[in-house]
């Protein structure tokens, strides 16, 4: 027995609680064994779990009132009695320490003036971005109660500015304060006449201009006739830690936790004592907790009365709710340089207030999203840019569900893939679908990459030789053209009345009338000056007249042919399509296997969509007709159109036939493969459903319990996209109901932002493009994406945007921007984009 004593007590020997219990039970009586087992089963005390911080922070002087930043990397605290403090010996200065990459706290630094002055100085709260401090007292002579605010610019802090509290009153020498993580709520421990006794907890809401509203009691669930002090509102905005000697505890002041039950700030859960791992028989207060919620930092006095800083792990049941710590930068999409500015954090759920943030000189920002919330970022936009950012979601209920009409089973999931390993029929169908899906994707991309058809008239010399043989109508037209070109109208004496004369011609006519309207004597010869003016005027008119004519008959003919071709192009393509469709359809069917032909026997091929595809490969816009300086020339042009119309039509048909045949072939192949895809998917789904029923028949389902997510840190940059022709702008905050074209109400913020953008840039012509993920069949993806693009474009038209400035197009699922193998990637792929097609007035960059 004596040998065991030193062994058990030796500081060099450690045991787990299990090994200690088993060893002790062997050497003590049964009753002692039970008592010792219960003792060893108790939670560890704070003395056993608390960790004293490094010597870079703790000194022979007093360190107290710690405040940890939400990211857990910056620790503010007050140091008392330090000889180099700005205040008197018994006053406190604010100090700061930063966590290095190895997880150690660096040497603490005095924050200096203006944060430190001759009074007591301490930090009440710090915002998530770390660029705003809320400080104790009002920085006035006399150490007035209340709080002040200081903002950082670069490395400097502004002079603290008092934040007045309406109807503020306090009769206690030890008030304490905490500003919530959204900087809209102030919780304070003050003593007021209407209180329950001693210090009670009150809440104030922020008002415009750095003011706080009148305090309201948190209620009798939290407050007692004793003292409630040192409040700390955790990063989730709902979990409140505070000290109290009015609730049942282990000693004097103990730390408690209570959770807000609604948005009234007066309804709270029954406070829970944090237990012996946190509380002692002495005063325990001023706990501060980072957004991760894993550790609590606090100050504690030893037996000599000296105060140092410690941290200890929080029991899991007393930790706050999980949050996202979102960090990012505003970046110029062209230069990749940071951009300072203001931005709004707007919730994607109802009844949640928006927040205002400010990106620093380096463009950085940081904020917190509690679990259950989702937000969008909307920055102020400099001219010539459009900001793009992803929504931030941290909720079990997504803002937008995944689209998909393929099957109730994830074809790429492990369950279906395992089934395929043991069922050759399913494996074969999966392989066929994968191959077919790739073919459809390639065909869809080829369709989207078509360039508009450009008509090229045959060379002039070739047409001249052919004209002599075939077109006898052009010879007299050529003679008339040359006659008109040689003989402009008889002069500007009033006979030039052709419509559409421009300003230059009107000026010439006015000058001519003025010269000939002046009275002159028949006995007196005309003045040389007048003769000179009249001659000059006639020369200028002739120069004007010839400048309005084509250079020659061949050029005139080429221009007329070009305009006729553009005019007849749609009708000629349609005529060719109707003529060629039967033979193309026969060719396609002859290439199908017997199985494929059988699969298609009961399915209708959409010929309407096939012929619509021919209309998509047309020039974007027709050129404006040439201006003609006289009725004679305009009449000549009309006669030339009639003379050339049939020849140009036949030439077009001959030129276009191979192209139309290929377009029909691609469009028909696409529709045939769509039908095959639908048939294969139906067969695959039937087989999977049958196997699932056989495997799980009679087995009760066991629903999986969703686990609460953990604290996470993510990066979310805002890209300022320059406005350029061809630029594609993702509209990441437009959301639809699953598999529908109906917009979710939260989409109208983004839609209105785009509407304002279009109004501010009236020269832009844009395309609204819709896209889906790979869980949609190709036919459904095309239909859904086009329907959504049409709805968005329609909203802009309803809001007053000129329809001529808007086009829309559905791209289906053939242009993914992320992997379709993950839920996150698929949600990125179901999107709406704005493409800048051109600038109507030639503006832009």
Position 237 confidence tier, pLDDT thresholds 50, 70, 90: very high
Query: DSSP states of 239-268 as a string?
Result: EEEEEESSS--SSSSEEEEEEB-SSSSS-B
- Say whether both 166 and 201 belong to one domain: yes
pLDDT of residue 6: 30
Q: Within its chain, how far is the Cα of 71 from the centroid?
A: 23
- Say whether both 562 and 578 belong to one domain: yes
Q: State the DSSP code for 178.
A: E
Query: Nearest to residue 164, comparing CAs of 144, 193, 180, 181?
Result: 144
Model confidence at 5: pLDDT above 70? no
Position 14 confidence tier, pLDDT thresholds 50, 70, 90: very low
pLDDT of residue 549: 47
Provide the 10 A C-beta neighbour count for residue 820: 15
Element holding 89 (H helix, E strand): none
Residue keyed to tokens 């960059």? 845
pLDDT of residue 787: 94
Show which of 263, 280, 314 is a domain's final residue: 314
Lowest mean pLDDT segment, chosen from 390-394, 587-591, 616-620 = 616-620
CATH number of the structural domain spanning residue 155: 2.115.10.20
Provide the 10 A C-beta neighbour count for residue 844: 17
Query: Nearest to residue 494, comparing CAs of 515, 521, 525?
Result: 515
pLDDT of residue 282: 84
Structure tokens at 770: 């819709």
The Cα–Cα gap between 119 and 123 comes to: 13
Judge whether 839 and 764 are in contact, CB under 8 Å. Answer: yes
Q: What does the pLDDT average to over 709-729? A: 91
Residue 224 to residues 203, 246, 271, 275: CA-CA distances in angstroms?
Answer: 16, 5, 11, 19
pLDDT of residue 7: 28
Query: Is 317 buried (19+), middle (13-18) or exposed (0-12) by CB count in 10 A?
Result: exposed
Query: DSSP states of 392-446 as a string?
Result: EEESSS-SSPPP--S-SS-TTSHHHHHHHHH-HHHHHHHHHHHHHHHHHHHHHHH
Residue 818 lies in a domain: yes
pLDDT of residue 333: 85
Position 774 confidence tier, pLDDT thresholds 50, 70, 90: confident
pLDDT of residue 551: 55
Position 763 confidence tier, pLDDT thresholds 50, 70, 90: very high
The listed range with the strongest mean pLDDT (214-223, 382-391, 473-482, 501-510) is 214-223
The Cα–Cα gap between 564 and 640 comes to: 10
Q: Which residues pair with 52 in a beta bridge?
A: 310
Instruction: Kindly report the three-state secondary structure assignment for every residue of 127-162.
Output: CCCCCEEEEECCCCCCCCCCEEEEEEECCEECCCEE
Query: Nearest to residue 163, comparing CAs of 144, 181, 191, 182?
Result: 144
What lies within 8 Å, CB to CB, of 170 at 6+ separation is: 145, 190, 191, 192
Residue 482 lies in a domain: no
What lies within 8 Å, CB to CB, of 444 at 6+ separation is: 670, 778, 782, 811, 812, 813, 814
The Cα–Cα gap between 105 and 55 comes to: 9
Residue 12 lies in a domain: yes
Model confidence at 135: pLDDT above 50? yes
- Say whether both 222 and 171 belong to one domain: yes
pLDDT of residue 525: 46
pLDDT of residue 425: 67
Residue 155 lies in a domain: yes
Residue keyed to tokens 């002859």? 590
- Say whether both 21 and 145 belong to one domain: no
Model confidence at 451: pLDDT above 90? no
Query: Is 262 buried (19+), middle (13-18) or exposed (0-12) by CB count in 10 A?
Result: exposed
- Say whether both 91 and 231 belong to one domain: yes
Mean pLDDT of the chain: 78
Cα dihedral 286, 291, 295, 297 sign: negative
- Say whether both 75 and 185 belong to one domain: yes
- β-pairing, 806-810 vs 764-771, is parallel
Is the bond preceding 845 in cis, omega lying within 30 degrees of 0?
A: no
Q: Which residue has the higher pLDDT, 644 or 442?
A: 644
Residue 476 lies in a domain: no
What lies within 8 Å, CB to CB, of 524 at 6+ separation is: none
pLDDT of residue 92: 92
Question: φ and ψ at 215, to 5 degrees?
Answer: -70, 145
Instruction: Kindly report the three-state secondary structure assignment for every residue of 736-788.
Output: ECCCCCCECHHHHHHHHHHHHHHHHCCCEEEEEEEECCCCCCHHHHHHHHHHH
pLDDT of residue 531: 54
Question: Domains in the chain: how many in total?
Answer: 5
- 0.75 cut: is pTM over it? no
pLDDT of residue 23: 34
What lies within 8 Å, CB to CB, of 449 at 6+ separation is: none
- Say whether both 533 and 556 belong to one domain: no
Q: What does the pLDDT average to over 600-604? A: 55
Position 791 confidence tier, pLDDT thresholds 50, 70, 90: very high
Element holding 126 (H helix, E strand): strand 123-126
Q: What does the pLDDT average to over 758-785? A: 90
Structure tokens at 164: 């007045």
Model confidence at 550: pLDDT above 70? no
Q: What does the pLDDT average to over 4-18? A: 32
Crossing angle, helix 631-696 and helix 474-486, to 10 degrees?
Answer: 120
Query: Is 384 buried (19+), middle (13-18) or exposed (0-12) by CB count in 10 A?
Result: middle
Structure tokens at 592: 């199908």
What lies within 8 Å, CB to CB, of 165 at 6+ separation is: 146, 147, 186, 188, 204, 211, 212, 213, 214, 215
Is the bond preceding 737 in cis, omega lying within 30 degrees of 0?
A: no
Residue 66 to residues 110, 111, 122, 391, 500: CA-CA distances in angstroms?
Answer: 14, 14, 9, 34, 83
Query: Nearest to residue 636, comparing CAs of 494, 773, 531, 484?
Result: 484
Report the alpha-carbon angle 732-735-740, nearest 5: 135
Judge whether 265 and 217 are in contact, CB under 8 Å. Answer: no
Cα dihedral 294, 298, 304, 306 sign: positive
Show which of 263, 279, 314 is a domain's final residue: 314
Model confidence at 8: pLDDT above 60? no
The listed range with the strongest mean pLDDT (706-720, 773-787, 792-806) is 792-806
CATH number of the structural domain spanning residue 364: 3.30.1330.60
- Say whether both 210 and 328 belong to one domain: no
Summarised one tens digit per residue, pLDDT across range 21-40 is 333 334 345 554 444 444 43
Position 310 confidence tier, pLDDT thresholds 50, 70, 90: very high
- Say whether both 539 and 605 belong to one domain: no
Question: φ and ψ at 405, to 5 degrees?
Answer: -125, 15
Show which of 263, 283, 314 is a domain's final residue: 314
The Cα–Cα gap between 532 and 516 comes to: 13
pLDDT of residue 327: 94
The Cα–Cα gap between 310 and 300 comes to: 7
Query: Is 198 buried (19+), middle (13-18) or exposed (0-12) by CB count in 10 A?
Result: buried
Structure tokens at 231: 């409040």
Lowest mean pLDDT segment, chosen from 281-290, 407-416, 578-587, 604-613 = 407-416
Residue 481 lies in a domain: no
Domain holding 442, by residue range, is 423-471+551-695
Q: State the DSSP code for 621.
A: S
Question: φ and ψ at 385, to 5 degrees?
Answer: -135, 160
- Say whether both 365 and 509 belong to one domain: no
The Cα–Cα gap between 328 and 379 comes to: 12
The Cα–Cα gap between 278 and 298 comes to: 10
Q: What does the pLDDT average to over 238-267? A: 93
Summarised one tens digit per residue, pLDDT across range 668-697 is 777 777 777 777 776 766 666 666 556 544
Summarised one tens digit per residue, pLDDT across range 367-380 is 999 998 888 888 88
Sheet containing strand 109-110, edge to edge, reads 62-68, 74-80, 92-98, 109-110
- Say whether both 59 and 30 belong to one domain: no
Position 121 confidence tier, pLDDT thresholds 50, 70, 90: very high
Provide the 10 A C-beta neighbour count for residue 624: 7
Report the alpha-carbon angle 65-70-73, nearest 5: 80
Sheet containing strand 355-359, edge to edge, reads 355-359, 341-347, 373-379, 392-394
Residue 760 lies in a domain: yes
Residue 573 lies in a domain: yes
Percent of the chain with pLDDT over 90: 38
- Say whether both 258 and 152 belong to one domain: yes
Summarised one tens digit per residue, pLDDT across range 70-107 is 999 999 999 998 988 987 778 899 999 999 999 999 99
The listed range with the strongest mean pLDDT (317-321, 491-495, 504-508, 523-527) is 317-321
pLDDT of residue 570: 83
pLDDT of residue 29: 52
Question: φ and ψ at 744, to 5 degrees?
Answer: -75, 145
Q: Which residues pair with 329 in a beta bridge?
A: 364
Query: DSSP states of 685-718 as a string?
Result: HHHHHHHHHHHHTTPPP-PPPPPPPPPEEEE--E
């Amino acid at each position: 027995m004596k040998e065991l004593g030193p062994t058990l007590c030796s500081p060099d020997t450690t045991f787990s609680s299990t090994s200690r219990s088993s060893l002790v039970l062997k050497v003590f009586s049964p009753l002692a064994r039970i008592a010792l087992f219960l003792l060893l089963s108790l939670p560890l005390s704070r003395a056993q779990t608390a960790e004293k911080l490094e010597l870079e922070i703790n000194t022979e002087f007093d360190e107290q009132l710690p405040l940890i930043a939400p990211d857990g990397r910056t620790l503010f605290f007050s140091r008392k009695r330090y000889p180099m403090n700005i205040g008197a010996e018994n006053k406190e200065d604010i100090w700061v320490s930063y966590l290095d990459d190895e997880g150690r706290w660096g040497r603490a630094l005095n924050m200096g003036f203006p944060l430190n002055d001759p009074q007591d100085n301490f930090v009440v709260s710090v915002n998530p971005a770390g660029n705003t401090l809320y400080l104790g007292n009002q920085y006035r002579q006399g150490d007035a109660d209340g709080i002040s605010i200081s903002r950082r610019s670069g490395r400097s802090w502004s002079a603290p500015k008092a934040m007045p509290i309406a109807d503020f009153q306090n009769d206690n020498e030890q008030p304490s304060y905490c500003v919530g993580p959204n900087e809209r709520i102030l919780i304070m421990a003050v003593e007021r006449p209407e209180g329950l006794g001693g210090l009670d907890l009150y809440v104030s809401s922020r008002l415009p201009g750095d003011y706080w509203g009148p305090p309201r009691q948190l209620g009798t669930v939290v407050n007692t006739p004793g003292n409630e002090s040192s409040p700390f509102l955790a990063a989730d905005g709902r979990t409140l830690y505070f000290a109290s000697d009015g609730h049942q505890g282990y000693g004097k002041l103990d730390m408690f936790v209570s959770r807000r039950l609604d948005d009234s700030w007066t309804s709270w859960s029954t406070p829970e004592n944090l237990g012996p791992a946190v509380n002692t028989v002495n005063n325990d207060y001023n706990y501060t907790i980072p957004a991760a919620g894993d550790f609590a930092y606090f100050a504690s006095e030893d037996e000599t009365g000296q105060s140092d800083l410690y941290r200890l792990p929080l029991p899991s049941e007393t930790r706050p709710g999980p949050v996202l710590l979102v960090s990012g930068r505003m970046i110029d999409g062209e230069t990749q340089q940071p951009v300072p500015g203001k931005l709004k954090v707007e919730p994607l759920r109802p009844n949640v207030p928006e927040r205002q943030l400010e990106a620093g000189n380096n463009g950085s920002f940081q904020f917190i999203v509690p679990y259950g919330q989702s937000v969008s970022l909307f920055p102020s936009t400099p001219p010539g840019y459009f900001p793009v950012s992803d929504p931030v979601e941290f909720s079990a209920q997504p803002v937008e569900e995944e689209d998909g009409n393929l099957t109730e089973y994830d074809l790429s999931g492990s369950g279906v893939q395992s089934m395929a390993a043991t069922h050759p029929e399913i494996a074969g169908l999966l392989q066929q679908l994968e191959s077919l899906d790739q073919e459809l994707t390639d065909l869809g991309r080829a369709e989207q990459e078509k360039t508009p058809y450009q008509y090229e008239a045959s060379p002039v010399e070739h047409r001249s030789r052919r004209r002599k043989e075939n077109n006898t109508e052009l010879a007299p037209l050529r003679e008339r053209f040359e006659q008109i070109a040689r003989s402009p109208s008889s002069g500007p004496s009033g006979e030039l009345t052709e419509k559409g004369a421009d300003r230059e011609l009107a000026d010439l006519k006015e000058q001519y009338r003025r010269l000939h309207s002046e009275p002159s004597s028949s006995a007196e010869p005309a003045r040389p000056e007048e003769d000179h003016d009249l001659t000059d005027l006639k020369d200028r008119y002739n120069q004007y007249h010839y400048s309005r004519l084509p250079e020659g008959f061949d050029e005139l003919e080429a221009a007329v042919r070009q305009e006729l071709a553009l005019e007849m192009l749609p009708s000629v393509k349609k005529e060719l399509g109707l003529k060629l469709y039967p033979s193309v359809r026969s060719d396609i069917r002859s290439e199908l296997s017997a199985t494929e032909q059988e699969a298609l026997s009961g399915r209708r091929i959409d010929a309407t969509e096939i012929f619509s595809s021919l209309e998509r490969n047309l020039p974007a816009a027709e050129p404006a007709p040439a201006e003609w300086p006289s009725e004679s020339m305009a009449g000549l042009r009309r006669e030339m159109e009639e003379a050339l119309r049939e020849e140009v039509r036949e030439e077009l048909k001959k030129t276009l036939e191979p192209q139309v045949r290929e377009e029909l072939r691609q469009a028909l192949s696409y529709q045939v493969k769509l039908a095959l895809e639908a048939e294969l998917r139906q067969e695959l789904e039937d087989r999977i459903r049958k196997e699932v029923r056989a495997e799980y028949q009679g087995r009760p389902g066991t629903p999986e319990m969703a686990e609460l997510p953990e604290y996470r840190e993510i990066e979310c940059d805002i890209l300022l996209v320059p406005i350029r022709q061809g630029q594609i702008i993702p509209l990441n905050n437009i959301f639809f109901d699953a598999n529908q074209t109906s917009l979710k109400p939260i989409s109208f913020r983004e839609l209105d932002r785009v509407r304002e953008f279009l109004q501010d840039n009236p020269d832009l012509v844009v395309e609204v493009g819709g896209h889906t993920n790979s869980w949609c069949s190709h036919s459904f993806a095309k239909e859904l994406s086009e329907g959504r693009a049409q709805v968005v474009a329609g909203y802009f038209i309803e809001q007053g945007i000129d329809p001529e400035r808007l086009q829309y197009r559905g791209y289906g699922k053939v242009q993914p921007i992320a992997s379709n193998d993950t839920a996150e990637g698929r949600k990125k792929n179901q999107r709406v984009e704005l493409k800048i097609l051109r600038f109507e007035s030639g503006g832009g960059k």
